[in-house]
C-alpha cells in the first residue's frame, strides 16, 4: 500500500509536468518556449518512469519468464532509471537539433513566432492572422547631452550621495 | 456427271472475274483506253460457254430416264468448304408421323456451307441471258465511256458485276445466294456512284445500297427461319460430308454413318418429290420475308424508291444492271423458291398483289416524268411488277410466263436504255425530253431501234413483248385459284386427257376464301390490262416527244449532235433483232401456237418439274381472247399517245390539263354555290361529297362493280384536293414520306441517344469520379499550416484512442 | 523448339522496348526502324507458330506450352504461381492479329510522331508485349499482370502524344479500366481460394486449365457464382466495352494518336471478350446461364445504341469509336448465345473487327496527317485527291458493315444465325419471345451499320472536293505513299481471305471453343422446352391426302 501511494505521488508529479508541458506546447507561440515545454513533457515522462521502475523493481521474482521481463529482471530495480538516462541523452540530442532548426527559422523570418510559418496551408483556406495588436508607442527617446567642452558639467547632488567625486 | 457442264459452270463466272482482275491490275498504267478488251473478251467467252451450257442442259433433260423425269435435271459442282461448324443444330424429328424416307433427315446438323454451283434449266436460261446482254452492253459502253477518266475502273466494275450476277444464279445455297445478292448490290453502289464527284450520284448510290439492305435484312431473317425449319441452307440434296453425287445421295438410309447421313436440300429433288414442306403461318412468314428481300432487289413497292435515283449512273450501267440483270435477281429468286411459295398460297397471293400494284403505280408515275431515263426506270419497275404478278399466279404457266417475260424484257429494255444512252451521248448529256425533240432525222438508227423497242415493250404482235405479256396475262387469268375451283368441280371439260388434279396446298381453303382470292386475281387482271394501256401510252409519249415534232437541239450538244458511232449502234441493232424475233421464235419452234420452248425448257428444272406446282400444269393453248384484248389495249395506248404528242406541238404537259379535274367542278356547281366555296370547310365538304357523287356516276356507267364503287371514290376524293398530275409527277411523294417516317425519326433518335450518352451515361461516370474529390475537399480544411494545430490534432487523436481502449477494456 | 519460339515471340517486343529505352537519345529514324524490325520479326515468329498449329484444332496437351514454377513455394505454403504460357484455339487468332496490327501501327506512326519518338516506340513495343502475353497466359497472376501491363503504355501513349484533351482522356481511361479490373482480380482470387479450400490438393494454384477442370468437377454454389460473375463482369465489361460502361472509349479514341487508336480498337477491346470466354463461361457456368438474358439485352442495346449515336457524330474518329461499340455488341451477342455457331462467329468477328476497324483508324490517321482535322464538316470529295485512300476506305467500310465476300459477313452471319437459332429453337418458353426480339433487333443493326458508314464515306470521300483552309498547302497533299499502302495491304489481304475461306480460321478454333462453351451451354440447353413449331408434324401433301 505504501508503495502504491508512493507510486501515485510520482505519477502525480510526472503527470502534472506532462500536462503542463503539453498545454504549454499547444498554447505558446514562442518557439524556444515551445521547445522547453516539450522538454518538460519528456521530464514528466521520466519521473513516471522512475516511479514505475521503483514500483516494479521489487516485484521481479513474481514475474513470468518472458523476454521482456528477463530484460527487466536483468536491470533489477534500476530499470526505470536506466531508461531515464536514455531519455536524457536523447533529449540532449534532440535539443541540439531543435535549437539548430529554431536558429535557422529565426534567421529566415526574424521572429520566433511559430504562427509565422503557414506556407503549407491549403490554398483555399484563409491565413491565421493575429488580432490587431496596438501600435507601439513611440516614446520620445531621451538622448544624453554632452556639455560643451571646456565647461565643467553641473553636478547632480543625488549622485554625491553615492560617490565621492562626480 | 457431265464434264462439259462442270467446266462451263466454272468458266462462266471465272472469265469475267479474271477480266476484272486484269483490268484492275493493268488498267491504270498499261491498258488505259484499251481496258474494254479483256472485259469484252471475257464476257463473250462467258456468253459462248453459257450457250454451250444451255445446249448441254437441254440434252441432259431430254435424255432423262422417265422415272427420273419427274424430278427434273440438276447437276451440282462443289468447289470448297466456306464454313463448317460441327453439330450446330439438332433438327427435331417428328416421330412416327413421318413417312419412312424422310426419317433419314433428322438429328444433329453441321452448319456447313460449301461453295457449290448448280446447272439446271433456270440457271442456264439466266446465264445465257445475262452474259449475252452484258456483252452487248460492254461493247456499247466501250463507245459511250470513251475518254472518261475512270475508263478502266468502269470496266473492272462491269467485270466484277457480271461475275457476281453469274454466281448469283449459279449457286446452290441460300447463303451464297445472299453473298452474291449483296455483291451485286455493292457493284451497283460502285457503278451508280461511278462519277463520284457528283453529289447526286454519290447520294443515289448510298440510297440504293441502303434500301437494298432493308430488303436484305428481311432476306436474312428468312434464311434464319429456313435454317431452323429445314436444317440446311442448300438447295440440293447432299450427304453430311458434302458429297453431291446423285447415286450416293439416293443410297443414304436412316442407318447410314453420321458423315453419310442425308441432308435434304430445301429445294432438292428428294424433298420436292415427297412434298415435305411446312405449310401454315411459318411457310407464309418465310415466303413473305423472301418476298420483301426480292422487293428490295427488284425495286417493287415499298422498296422501289432507289431505282429512279439510280439513273444517275452511266447509261450502260442502267441498261445492264437496272434493266436486264440485277433487278431480275429478285424474280429469279422467287422463281427458284417456287416449292416454298407453292406451300403457301397466301404468299403467292401477296406476291401477285405486290406485282400488280407496283406495275400500276409505276405506270402512273411514268406518265408525267420528263427525264427519259426515269421514264424507262419506272417502266422497268412496272414490267418487273408484271413478272411478280405472273409468279404470283401460282401455276407452272405463271412461273414460266414470268421468266419468259424476264427474258424478253431484258432485250427490249436494254435496247431502250442503250437507245436513250445514244440520245444522251448525242445531246451532250441532256436527257430531259423538254429540251430536245424531232431527232428522227438526226439519228436514224437510234430512231429505228428505239421504235422497235417501244413496240416490243407495248406488246404489239409479233414482237417479243407481245408473246410474253400475253403469257403473263393468261397466267393471271387462269391462276391457281381457278385450277382449285375446277378441281373441286371436276376435271376441265374439253380436255379428255387431263387427269383430275391431286389435292394441293389449297385443299384446306374454304369456298369463301377461294372466292375472295379469285376476286382479287380478277381485279389484278383488269389492272394489268389497264397497265398495258399505260405502258403503251407513256412509252410512245417518250418516243414521240424525243423523235418527232420540231427538231430542237440544245446548246450543250455542240459537236456531238450526230448519230452514234458503229460501236454503239451495232449492239442496238443486235438487240433490236432479238426483240423482234425472240418471242416469235420460241413460240414457233414449239410446234403449237400456245407452246413455248422456253417454258418447256424451264419445266425441266427441279423447282418446276415436281411437287405441288406441277399439279397445276396445263396443256399449252393459245388464248386468243386475251391476245385480242391486250393488242386492243396496246393499240389504244399507242394511238392516244400519237394523238396527244405527235404533230409539232409542245404537248409534254397536256395530261396536266386533262387530269387536274379543273373542269369537273362545272359538272356539279351552280353559280350560287361558288360564293360559299370560299369558306374552307364548306369547300372541303363539297369536294368530299362531289367525289362520292362522281364515284356513283362512274359506277352507274360501269355497273359491274356495284357497292365497290366507293373504292373508286377514293382516287376522285384525293384528286379534289391534290392534282393527280402533281401526285404522279412527284412520284406519289414516296421519297418524302420515307424521309418523314424513317429518316427523320432516326436522326432525331440518334441525336437523343448522343445527348443521353454525353450527359447521362457519361455524367454518371464523371459523378463517380468526383466522389473522391468531394471527400477530399472535406479533409482538406484540416490543413491549416500551423504546427500547433497539428499538435492539437495529434493530442485529440491520442485521447480518442485512449478513451476507446478504456471503453473497450471496461465493456 | 516451338515452345521456345512462343517465348521468344512474346519477349521480343520487350527486348525491343528495352533497347529503345537504353539508346534513348538515338535519332527518330533509327528508333522507328528498330521498332519496325522488331515488329516484323515478331510477326514472322507468330506466323510460324500459327502455321504449325494443328489445322483441326485438336489439342491434346496444349500447343507451344512453357510451364515454369515462378513464385512458387509449394512445400511451405502451397502457393503455386507459375510462368505458364501456351497457345490454344481461343487466343490463337488474336495472337496473330496482335502481331499484324502492331506492324501497321508502327508504319502509320512513321511521320506522325515527331518528338520523343524513341520513347513512343518503346511504349508501343511494351504494349505489344502486354497484349501478346494476355492471349497466351495460362496462369491467373500472369494473365492479370499482362492485363494491367497493357494499360500503362497506352496511358502514356494517349497522355503524351494525343490531341487537345489528352491528359483528361488518359486519366479517365486509366482509372475507369483499372477500377473494373481490380474487381475482376478480386473475383479471380476468390476462385483460387475456393479451389484451395475445396479441391483437396492443398495447392494454392493459379493455373487456368487446372482451375477450370476442378471447377467443373466441384462447381461453386450458385450465389457465389453470381457474385463472382458480377466481379468478373466489372472488369471485362468495361474493357469490351459493354453498353452502359462504354463512355471511356470515344474519348480515349479521339484523343489517342493514330497508332494508339489502332491498337486500342484492334486488340485491347478484344481482351474483354476474351476474358469472358476464358474465365466467365467455363468457370461460372450456372451464373452464365442465369445471366444470359441480361447479357444478351445489354449486347443488343450496345449494337443499336452504338449505331444510333454513330449516326449523330461529326467527328470522324468518334464515329468509328461508336461503331466499335456496336460491333463489340455483336461479339458479345454471339458469345452469350452459347451456340457453336454463335461462339465461333463471335471469336471470328473479334478478329474481323480488329482488322477492319484497325484499318479504318489507320486511314483516319492518314487523313489527319494530311489535313490536321477530324471534323467531317471540313472534308469532302477526297476521292478526287487521293483515290487509293478512297479505295481502301471503301474496302474497309464494306468489311465493317458486313458485305458478303469480305470478312465481316462471315462473323456477323454466324453470330446472328446462332442468336436466332437460340431464340427460335433452343430457348425456354418464357424467354423465347424476348430472344426473338433480340435477334430481330440485332439483325436490324446491319441496316444501321450500313447507314452511318456509307453516309460517312459519301460525305468525306464523294461529292465535290472540299478541304480545310487551315493547312494552306493542300496542293501538296498526296495520295498514299508506299509505306502507307504497305501498312494497309496485309489487312486488305486478310479481309478477302477470311471472307472467301473462313473455314481455314474456324476449323482451328473449333474444339477449344466447344470446350469453353459446353458447361454453360449444357445448363441452358437443359432448361429449354421443346420448340413448339418443330414438334408440329410436317403438313406434307401426302399427309394431308392421307388424312382425307
pLDDT digits (tens, 9 = 90+) for B484-515: 777 777 655 555 555 555 667 777 778 888 88
Instruction: Return the sign of the alpha-carbon dihedral for residues C271, C275, C276, C277.
Output: positive
B690-B694-B700 Cα angle (round to 5)? 145
For B739, counting Cβ atoms within 10 Å of its Cβ (0-12 exposed, 13-18 middle, 19+ buried), the class is: middle
Please list the residues that pair with B234 across neighbouring strands: B173
The pLDDT of residue B674 is 55
Pick from C446, C462, C465: which is nearest to B193 by CB?
Answer: C462
Within its chain, how far is the Cα of B371 from the centroid? Answer: 22
Best CA proximity match to C221, nearest among C147, C130, C285: C285
Using the Cβ of B776 and the Cβ atoms of chain A, whether some distance falls under 8 Å is answered with no
pLDDT single digits (tens) B774-788: 998 888 888 888 888
The pLDDT of residue B677 is 57
Please judge whether C405 and B197 are an interchain contact, meaning their C-beta atoms are less than 8 angstroms apart. no
CA distance A136 to B356: 111
Task: For strands C79-80 and C204-205, give the pairing.
Answer: parallel
Report yes or no on A165 lying in a domain: no
The pLDDT of residue C351 is 95
Cβ atoms of C340 and C517 within 8 Å: the answer is yes
Burial annotation C497-511 (CB, 10 A radius, 16+ → b, else e) = ebbbbbbebbbbbbb
CA distance B673 to B689: 13
ipTM for the predicted complex comes to 0.89
Please judge whether B787 and A124 are an interchain contact, meaning their C-beta atoms are less than 8 angstroms apart. no
pLDDT above 50: residue B596 = yes
Best CA proximity match to C401, nearest among C457, C347, C441: C457
Domain that holds residue A21: 1-58+77-115
pLDDT above 70: residue B93 = no
Report yes or no on A46 lying in a domain: yes
The pLDDT of residue B483 is 77
Highest mean pLDDT among B57-66, B238-247, C497-506: C497-506
The pLDDT of residue C542 is 43
pLDDT single digits (tens) B355-377: 999 999 999 899 888 889 999 99
Is the link from the previous residue into C241 a cis peptide, with omega within 30 of 0? yes
pLDDT single digits (tens) B388-440: 999 999 888 899 999 999 999 999 999 999 999 999 988 888 888 888 888 88
Q: What value does the mean pLDDT take over residues B208-222?
A: 93
CA distance B557 to A78: 125
CA distance B328 to B330: 5
CA distance A41 to A24: 10
pLDDT above 80: residue B720 = no
Report yes or no on A69 lying in a domain: no
| CB contacts, 8 Å: B773 with chain A | none
CA distance C521 to C505: 23
pLDDT single digits (tens) C404-428: 989 999 999 999 999 999 998 888 8
Best CA proximity match to B473, nearest among B554, B541, B424, B530: B530
Coil, helix or strand at residue C380: strand
Task: For strands C82-87 and B238-239, give the pairing.
Answer: unpaired
pLDDT single digits (tens) B633-663: 898 888 888 877 775 444 555 555 555 544 4
Report yes or no on A131 lying in a domain: no
pLDDT single digits (tens) B520-543: 898 899 999 999 999 999 999 899
Phi and psi at residue B617, to the nearest 5°: -70, 130
The pLDDT of residue C535 is 38
Domain of residue A1, CATH code: 1.10.287.3510
Chains A and C touch (3+ CB pairs under 8 A): no
Using the Cβ of A19 and the Cβ atoms of chain B, whether some distance falls under 8 Å is answered with no
Task: For residue B667, name the pLDDT band (cuts at 50, 70, 90).
Answer: very low
Cβ atoms of B92 and B135 within 8 Å: the answer is no
pLDDT single digits (tens) B19-53: 999 999 888 888 777 888 899 999 999 999 999 99
| CB contacts, 8 Å: B791 with chain A | 25-26
The pLDDT of residue C428 is 80
Find which of A31, A35, A118 to mutate to test the B interface (most B CBs within 10 Å of its CB): A118
**Which CB contacts under 8 angstroms, 24+ apart, belong to B89-97?**
B89/B227, B89/B228, B89/B231, B89/C341, B89/C421, B89/C425, B91/B230, B91/B231, B91/C534, B92/C425, B92/C530, B92/C531, B92/C534, B92/C535, B94/C535, B94/C536, B94/C537, B94/C538, B97/C537, B97/C538, B97/C543
CA distance B486 to B478: 11
Please judge whether B197 and C463 are an interchain contact, meaning their C-beta atoms are less than 8 angstroms apart. yes
pLDDT above 90: residue B722 = no
The residue in chain A having the minimum alpha-carbon distance to the alpha carbon of residue B787 is A114
CA distance C254 to C260: 10
Cβ atoms of C322 and C309 within 8 Å: the answer is yes
For A129, counting Cβ atoms within 10 Å of its Cβ (0-12 exposed, 13-18 middle, 19+ buried), the class is: exposed
Number of alpha helices (DSSP H) and beta strands (DSSP E) in chain A: 5, 0
CA distance C134 to C10: 10
The pLDDT of residue B703 is 63
The pLDDT of residue B648 is 47
The pLDDT of residue C216 is 84
pLDDT single digits (tens) A61-93: 544 555 555 555 567 778 888 999 999 999 999
| CB contacts, 8 Å: C175 with chain B | 769
Coil, helix or strand at residue B80: strand
Using the Cβ of A109 and the Cβ atoms of chain B, whether some distance falls under 8 Å is answered with no
The pLDDT of residue B44 is 95
Q: At what angle do helices C140-149 and C151-161 cross, to 10 degrees?
A: 0
Please judge whether A119 and B791 are an interchain contact, meaning their C-beta atoms are less than 8 angstroms apart. no
Please judge whether A118 and B795 are an interchain contact, meaning their C-beta atoms are less than 8 angstroms apart. no
CA distance B126 to B329: 9
The pLDDT of residue B94 is 54
Question: What are the sequence ranges of the domains in chain C?
Answer: 284-523
Neighbours of chain C (3+ CB pairs under 8 A): B
pLDDT above 50: residue C191 = yes
Is the link from the previous residue into B302 a cis peptide, with omega within 30 of 0? yes
* pTM as predicted: 0.85
Highest mean pLDDT among B19-23, C73-77, C463-467: B19-23
Report yes or no on A21 lying in a domain: yes
Task: Give the gyration radius of chain B's Cα atoms.
Answer: 32
Task: For residue C249, name the pLDDT band (cuts at 50, 70, 90).
Answer: very high
Q: Which residue's C-alpha cell is 429445294?
A: B267
> Given its phi and psi angles, is residue B521 left (phi above 0), alpha (psi -120 to 50 degrees) or beta?
alpha
| CB contacts, 8 Å: C244 with chain B | 761
CA distance B546 to B540: 9
CA distance B604 to B64: 10
Coil, helix or strand at residue B228: helix
Burial annotation A91-124 (CB, 10 A radius, 16+ → b, else e) = beeeeeebeeebeebeeeeeebebbbbbeebeee
Q: Looking at CA atoms only, how far is residue B791 from chain A in angstroms?
A: 7
Q: Which residue's C-alpha cell is 366507293?
A: B710
Neighbours of chain B (3+ CB pairs under 8 A): A, C
Coil, helix or strand at residue B148: coil
Residues 471-510 of C with CB under 8 A from B: 500-503, 506-507, 510
**Which CB contacts under 8 angstroms, 24+ apart, belong to B715-720?**
B716/B691, B717/B687, B717/B688, B717/B691, B717/B692, B719/B659, B719/B661, B719/B691, B720/B661, B720/B687, B720/B688, B720/B690, B720/B691
For B669, counting Cβ atoms within 10 Å of its Cβ (0-12 exposed, 13-18 middle, 19+ buried), the class is: middle
Interface size, chain A vs chain B, as Cβ–Cβ contacts under 8 Å: 42
Phi and psi at residue B83, to the nearest 5°: -150, 150
Coil, helix or strand at residue C85: strand
How many domains does chain A contain in total?
Answer: 1
pLDDT above 90: residue B87 = no
Give the number of other Cβ atoms within 10 Å of residue B523's Cβ. Answer: 15
Using the Cβ of A68 and the Cβ atoms of chain B, whether some distance falls under 8 Å is answered with no
Best CA proximity match to B282, nearest among C425, C333, C418: C425
CA distance A111 to B459: 116
Cβ atoms of C244 and C162 within 8 Å: the answer is no
The pLDDT of residue C532 is 41
Report yes or no on A157 lying in a domain: no
The pLDDT of residue B101 is 52
Task: For residue C470, name the pLDDT band (cuts at 50, 70, 90).
Answer: low
For chain B, give the percent of residues with pLDDT over 90: 36
Q: What value does the mean pLDDT take over residues B795-807?
A: 94
| CB contacts, 8 Å: B780 with chain A | 122, 124-125
Whole-number Cα distances in Å, B494 to B490, B497, B499, B619, C546:
12, 9, 12, 12, 30
| CB contacts, 8 Å: C447 with chain B | 210, 213-214, 217
Lowest-pLDDT choice from B366-375, C275-284, C537-546: C537-546
Report yes or no on A36 lying in a domain: yes
Using the Cβ of A112 and the Cβ atoms of chain B, whether some distance falls under 8 Å is answered with no
CA distance C412 to C420: 12
For chain C, give the percent of residues with pLDDT over 70: 94
Report yes or no on A155 lying in a domain: no
Query: Comparing A28 with B462, which gets the higher pLDDT?
Result: A28
Please judge whether B785 and A114 are an interchain contact, meaning their C-beta atoms are less than 8 angstroms apart. no
| CB contacts, 8 Å: C463 with chain B | 196-199, 202
Phi and psi at residue B89, to the nearest 5°: -155, 140
Pick from C312, C420, C455: which is nearest to B754 by CB?
Answer: C312
Task: For residue C279, name the pLDDT band (cuts at 50, 70, 90).
Answer: very high
Cβ atoms of C188 and C144 within 8 Å: the answer is yes
pLDDT single digits (tens) A94-146: 999 999 999 999 999 898 999 888 888 888 888 888 777 777 777 777 778 87
Lowest-pLDDT choice from B235-249, B396-410, C170-184, C280-294: B235-249
Query: Comparing B608 with C548, which gets the higher pLDDT?
Result: B608
pLDDT above 70: residue B562 = yes
The pLDDT of residue B501 is 54
The pLDDT of residue C540 is 42
Amino acid at each position: 500500500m505504501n508503495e502504491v501511494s508512493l507510486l501515485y505521488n510520482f505519477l502525480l508529479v510526472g503527470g502534472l509536468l506532462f500536462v503542463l508541458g503539453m498545454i504549454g506546447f499547444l498554447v505558446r507561440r514562442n518557439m524556444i518556449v515551445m521547445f522547453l515545454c516539450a522538454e518538460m513533457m519528456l521530464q514528466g515522462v521520466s519521473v513516471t518512469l522512475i516511479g514505475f521502475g521503483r514500483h516494479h523493481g521489487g516485484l521481479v521474482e513474481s514475474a513470468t519468464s518472458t523476454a521482456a521481463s528477463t530484460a527487466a529482471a536483468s536491470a533489477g530495480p534500476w530499470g526505470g532509471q536506466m531508461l531515464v538516462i536514455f531519455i536524457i541523452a536523447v533529449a540532449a540530442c534532440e535539443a541540439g537539433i531543435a535549437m539548430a532548426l529554431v536558429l535557422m527559422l529565426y534567421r529566415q523570418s526574424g521572429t520566433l513566432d511559430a504562427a509565422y510559418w503557414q506556407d503549407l496551408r491549403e490554398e483555399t483556406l484563409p491565413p491565421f492572422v493575429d488580432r490587431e495588436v496596438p501600435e507601439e508607442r513611440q516614446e520620445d527617446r531621451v538622448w544624453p547631452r554632452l556639455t560643451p567642452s571646456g565647461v565643467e558639467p553641473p553636478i547632480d547632488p543625488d549622485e554625491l550621495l553615492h560617490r565621492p567625486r562626480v | 456427271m457431265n464434264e462439259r457442264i462442270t467446266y462451263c459452270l466454272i468458266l462462266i463466272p471465272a472469265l469475267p472475274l479474271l477480266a476484272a482482275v486484269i483490268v484492275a491490275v493493268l488498267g491504270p498504267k498499261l491498258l488505259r483506253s484499251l481496258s474494254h478488251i479483256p472485259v469484252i473478251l471475257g464476257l463473250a467467252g462467258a456468253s459462248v460457254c453459257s450457250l454451250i451450257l444451255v445446249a448441254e442442259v437441254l440434252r441432259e433433260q431430254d435424255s432423262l430416264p422417265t422415272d427420273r423425269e419427274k424430278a427434273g435435271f440438276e447437276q451440282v459442282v462443289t468447289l470448297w468448304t466456306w464454313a463448317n461448324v460441327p453439330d450446330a443444330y439438332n433438327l427435331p424429328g417428328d416421330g412416327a408421323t413421318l413417312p419412312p424416307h424422310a426419317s433419314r433427315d433428322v438429328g444433329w446438323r453441321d452448319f456447313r456451307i460449301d461453295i457449290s454451283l448448280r446447272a439446271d434449266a433456270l440457271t442456264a436460261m439466266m446465264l445465257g441471258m445475262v452474259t449475252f446482254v452484258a456483252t452487248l452492253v460492254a461493247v456499247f459502253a466501250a463507245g459511250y465511256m470513251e475518254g472518261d477518266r475512270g475508263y478502266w475502273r468502269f470496266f473492272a466494275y462491269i467485270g466484277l458485276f457480271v461475275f457476281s450476277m453469274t454466281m448469283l444464279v449459279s449457286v446452290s445455297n441460300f447463303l451464297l445466294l445472299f453473298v452474291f445478292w449483296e455483291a451485286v448490290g455493292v457493284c451497283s453502289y460502285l457503278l451508280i456512284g461511278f462519277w463520284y464527284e457528283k453529289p447526286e450520284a454519290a447520294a443515289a448510290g448510298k440510297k440504293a445500297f441502303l434500301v437494298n439492305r432493308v430488303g436484305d435484312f428481311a432476306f436474312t431473317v428468312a434464311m434464319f427461319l429456313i435454317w431452323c425449319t429445314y436444317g440446311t441452307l442448300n438447295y440440293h440434296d447432299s450427304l453430311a460430308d458434302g458429297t453431291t453425287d446423285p447415286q450416293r445421295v439416293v443410297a443414304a438410309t436412316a442407318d447410314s454413318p453420321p458423315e453419310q447421313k442425308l441432308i435434304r436440300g430445301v429445294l432438292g429433288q428428294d424433298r420436292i418429290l415427297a412434298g415435305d414442306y411446312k405449310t401454315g403461318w411459318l411457310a407464309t412468314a418465310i415466303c413473305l420475308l423472301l418476298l420483301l428481300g426480292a422487293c428490295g432487289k427488284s425495286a417493287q413497292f415499298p422498296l422501289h424508291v432507289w431505282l429512279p435515283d439510280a439513273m444517275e449512273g452511266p447509261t450502260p450501267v442502267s441498261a445492264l444492271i437496272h434493266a436486264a440483270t440485277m433487278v431480275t435477281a429478285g424474280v429469279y429468286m422467287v422463281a427458284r423458291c417456287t416449292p416454298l411459295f407453292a406451300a403457301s398460297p397466301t404468299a403467292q397471293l401477296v406476291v401477285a398483289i405486290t406485282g400488280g400494284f407496283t406495275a400500276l403505280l409505276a405506270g402512273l408515275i411514268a406518265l408525267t416524268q420528263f427525264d427519259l431515263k426515269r421514264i424507262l426506270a419506272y417502266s422497268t419497275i412496272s414490267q418487273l411488277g408484271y413478272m411478280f404478278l405472273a409468279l404470283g399466279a401460282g401455276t407452272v404457266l405463271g412461273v414460266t410466263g414470268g421468266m419468259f417475260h424476264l427474258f424478253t424484257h431484258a432485250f427490249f429494255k436494254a435496247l431502250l436504255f442503250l437507245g436513250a444512252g445514244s440520245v444522251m451521248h448525242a445531246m451532250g448529256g441532256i436527257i430531259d425530253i423538254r429540251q430536245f425533240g424531232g431527232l428522227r432525222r438526226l439519228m436514224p438508227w437510234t430512231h429505228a431501234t428505239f421504235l422497235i423497242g417501244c413496240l416490243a415493250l407495248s406488246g404489239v404482235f409479233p414482237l417479243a413483248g407481245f408473246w410474253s405479256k400475253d403469257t403473263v396475262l393468261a397466267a393471271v387469268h387462269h391462276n391457281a385459284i381457278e385450277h382449285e375451283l375446277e378441281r373441286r368441280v371436276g376435271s376441265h371439260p374439253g380436255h379428255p386427257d387431263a387427269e383430275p388434279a391431286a389435292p394441293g396446298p389449297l385443299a384446306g381453303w374454304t369456298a369463301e376464301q377461294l372466292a375472295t382470292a379469285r376476286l382479287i386475281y380478277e381485279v389484278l387482271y383488269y389492272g394489268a390490262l389497264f397497265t398495258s394501256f399505260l405502258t403503251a401510252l407513256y412509252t410512245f409519249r417518250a418516243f414521240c416527244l424525243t423523235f418527232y415534232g420540231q427538231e430542237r437541239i440544245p446548246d450543250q450538244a455542240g459537236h456531238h449532235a450526230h448519230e452514234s458511232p458503229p460501236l454503239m449502234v451495232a449492239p442496238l441493232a443486235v438487240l433490236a433483232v432479238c426483240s423482234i424475233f425472240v418471242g416469235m421464235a420460241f413460240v414457233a419452234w414449239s410446234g403449237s401456237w400456245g407452246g413455248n420452248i422456253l417454258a418447256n425448257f424451264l419445266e425441266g428444272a427441279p423447282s418446276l418439274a415436281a411437287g405441288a406446282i406441277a399439279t397445276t400444269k396445263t396443256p399449252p393453248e393459245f388464248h386468243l381472247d386475251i391476245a385480242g384484248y391486250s393488242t386492243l389495249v396496246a393499240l389504244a395506248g399507242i394511238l392516244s399517245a400519237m394523238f396527244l404528242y405527235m404533230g409539232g406541238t409542245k404537248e409534254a404537259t397536256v395530261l396536266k390539263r386533262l387530269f387536274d379535274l379543273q373542269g369537273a367542278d362545272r359538272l356539279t356547281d351552280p353559280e350560287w354555290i361558288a360564293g360559299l366555296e370560299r369558306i374552307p370547310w364548306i369547300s372541303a365538304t363539297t369536294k368530299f361529297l362531289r367525289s362520292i357523287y362522281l364515284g356513283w356516276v362512274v359506277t352507274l356507267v360501269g355497273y359491274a362493280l356495284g357497292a365497290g364503287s366507293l373504292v373508286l371514290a377514293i382516287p376522285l376524293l384525293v384528286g379534289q384536293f391534290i392534282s393527280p398530275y402533281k401526285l404522279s409527277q412527284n412520284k406519289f411523294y414516296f421519297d418524302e414520306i420515307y424521309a418523314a417516317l424513317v429518316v427523320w425519326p432516326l436522326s432525331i433518335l440518334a441525336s437523343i441517344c448522343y445527348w443521353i450518352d454525353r450527359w447521362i451515361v457519361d455524367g454518371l461516370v464523371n459523378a463517380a469520379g468526383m466522389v473522391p474529390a468531394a471527400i477530399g475537399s472535406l479533409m482538406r480544411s484540416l490543413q491549416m499550416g500551423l504546427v500547433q494545430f497539428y499538435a492539437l490534432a495529434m493530442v485529440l487523436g491520442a485521447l480518442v484512442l485512449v478513451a476507446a481502449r478504456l471503453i473497450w477494456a471496461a465493456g | 523448339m516451338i515452345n521456345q519460339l512462343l517465348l521468344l515471340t512474346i519477349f521480343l517486343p520487350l527486348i525491343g522496348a528495352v533497347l529503345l529505352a537504353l539508346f534513348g537519345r538515338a535519332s527518330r529514324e533509327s528508333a522507328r526502324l528498330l521498332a519496325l524490325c522488331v515488329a516484323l520479326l515478331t510477326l514472322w515468329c507468330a506466323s510460324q507458330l500459327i502455321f504449325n498449329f494443328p489445322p483441326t484444332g485438336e489439342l491434346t496437351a496444349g500447343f507451344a506450352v512453357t510451364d515454369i514454377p515462378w513464385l512458387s513455394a509449394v512445400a511451405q505454403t502451397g502457393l503455386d504461381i507459375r510462368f505458364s504460357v501456351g497457345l490454344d484455339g481461343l487466343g490463337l487468332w488474336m495472337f496473330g492479329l496482335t502481331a499484324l496490327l502492331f506492324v501497321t501501327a508502327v508504319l502509320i506512326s512513321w511521320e506522325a510522331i515527331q518528338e520523343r519518338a524513341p520513347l513512343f516506340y518503346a511504349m508501343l513495343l511494351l504494349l505489344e508485349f502486354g497484349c501478346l502475353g494476355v492471349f497466351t497466359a495460362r496462369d491467373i497472376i500472369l494473365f492479370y499482370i499482362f492485363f494491367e501491363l497493357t494499360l500503362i503504355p497506352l496511358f502514356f501513349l494517349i497522355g503524351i502524344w494525343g490531341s487537345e484533351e489528352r491528359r483528361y482522356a488518359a486519366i479517365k481511361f486509366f482509372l475507369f479500366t483499372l477500377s473494373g479490373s481490380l474487381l475482376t482480380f478480386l473475383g479471380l482470387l476468390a476462385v483460387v481460394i475456393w479451389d484451395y479450400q475445396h479441391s483437396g490438393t492443398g495447392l494454392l494454384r493459379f493455373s487456368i486449365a487446372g482451375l477450370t477442370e476442378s471447377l467443373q468437377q466441384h462447381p461453386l454454389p450458385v450465389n457465389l457464382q453470381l457474385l463472382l460473375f458480377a466481379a468478373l463482369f466489372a472488369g471485362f465489361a468495361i474493357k469490351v466495352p459493354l453498353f452502359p460502361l462504354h463512355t471511356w472509349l470515344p474519348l480515349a479514341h479521339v484523343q489517342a494518336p493514330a497508332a494508339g487508336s489502332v491498337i486500342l480498337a484492334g486488340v485491347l477491346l478484344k481482351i474483354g471478350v476474351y476474358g469472358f470466354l476464358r474465365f466467365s463461361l467455363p468457370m461460372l457456368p450456372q451464373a452464365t446461364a442465369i445471366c444470359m438474358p441480361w447479357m444478351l439485352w445489354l449486347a443488343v442495346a450496345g449494337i443499336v445504341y452504338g449505331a444510333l449515336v454513330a449516326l449523330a457524330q461529326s467527328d470522324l474518329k468518334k464515329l468509328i469509336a461508336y461503331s466499335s461499340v456496336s460491333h463489340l455488341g455483336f461479339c458479345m451477342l454471339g458469345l452469350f448465345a452459347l451456340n457453336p455457331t454463335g461462339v465461333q462467329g463471335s471469336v471470328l468477328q473479334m478478329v474481323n473487327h480488329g482488322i477492319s476497324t484497325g484499318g479504318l483508324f489507320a486511314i483516319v490517321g492518314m487523313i489527319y496527317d494530311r489535313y490536321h482535322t477530324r471534323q467531317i464538316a471540313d472534308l469532302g470529295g477526297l476521292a478526287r485527291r487521293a483515290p487509293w485512300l478512297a479505295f481502301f476506305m471503301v474496302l474497309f467500310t464494306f468489311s465493317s458493315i458486313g458485305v458478303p465476300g469480305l470478312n465481316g459477313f462471315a462473323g456477323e452471319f454466324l453470330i446472328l444465325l446462332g442468336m436466332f437459332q437460340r431464340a427460335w429453337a433452343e430457348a425456354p418458353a418464357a424467354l423465347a419471345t424476348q430472344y426473338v426480339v433480340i435477334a430481330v433487333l440485332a439483325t436490324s443493326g446491319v441496316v444501321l451499320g450500313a447507314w452511318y458508314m456509307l453516309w460517312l464515306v459519301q460525305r468525306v470521300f464523294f461529292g465535290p472536293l472540299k478541304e480545310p483552309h487551315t493547312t494552306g498547302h493542300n496542293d501538296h497533299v498526296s495520295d498514299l505513299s508506299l509505306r502507307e499502302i504497305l501498312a494497309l495491304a496485309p489487312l486488305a489481304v486478310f479481309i478477302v481471305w477470311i471472307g472467301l475461306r473462313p473455314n481455314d480460321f474456324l476449323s482451328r478454333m473449333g474444339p477449344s471453343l466447344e470446350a469453353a462453351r459446353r458447361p454453360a451451354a449444357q445448363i441452358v440447353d437443359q432448361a429449354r422446352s421443346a420448340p413448339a413449331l418443330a414438334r408440329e408434324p410436317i403438313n406434307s401433301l401426302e399427309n394431308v391426302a392421307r388424312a382425307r
